[in-house]
Amino acid sequence: MAKGVDIELAPLDDDHVRAKITWSEQDVGGGKLVVEVTVKSTKTRPKTDDQLRSDARALAVRFARAFADTIEN
C-alpha cells in the first residue's frame, strides 16, 4: 500500500455503513493504522459516498495524529 489514506465503504444493512480506514506512513517498512467504524445512516439527511469518504478521511487524520503523539511521547 502506498503512503496515505485508503478508505473502503461497505453497506451493512439499510441503516448502517462500515468505513474501513487504513492510514499508511511509508511504502515499505512503515507504520500502518487500520480503523473500522460503523455509522448509522440518517434517513432524513443521507450522505453521498463522497461525503462519507470525506468524513472518514477527517476521522483517519485525527486517529493518525493521536497515534503519532503516543509514539513520540
What residue ranges do the domains of the chain occupy? Answer: 4-72
Instruction: Kindly write down the DSSP assignment for every residue of 6-53, as one continuous string.
Output: EEEEEE-SSSEEEEEEEEES-SSS--EEEEEEEEEPPSSS---HHHHH
Closest CA to 59 of 31, 11, 24, 22: 22
| This prediction's pTM | 0.53
Q: Tell me the pLDDT of the chain (73 aa) as tens digits.
A: 466 778 888 888 877 888 888 877 765 666 777 888 887 765 546 778 888 788 878 887 887 787 776 665 5
**Cα distance between residue 19 and residue 28, in whole Å:** 24
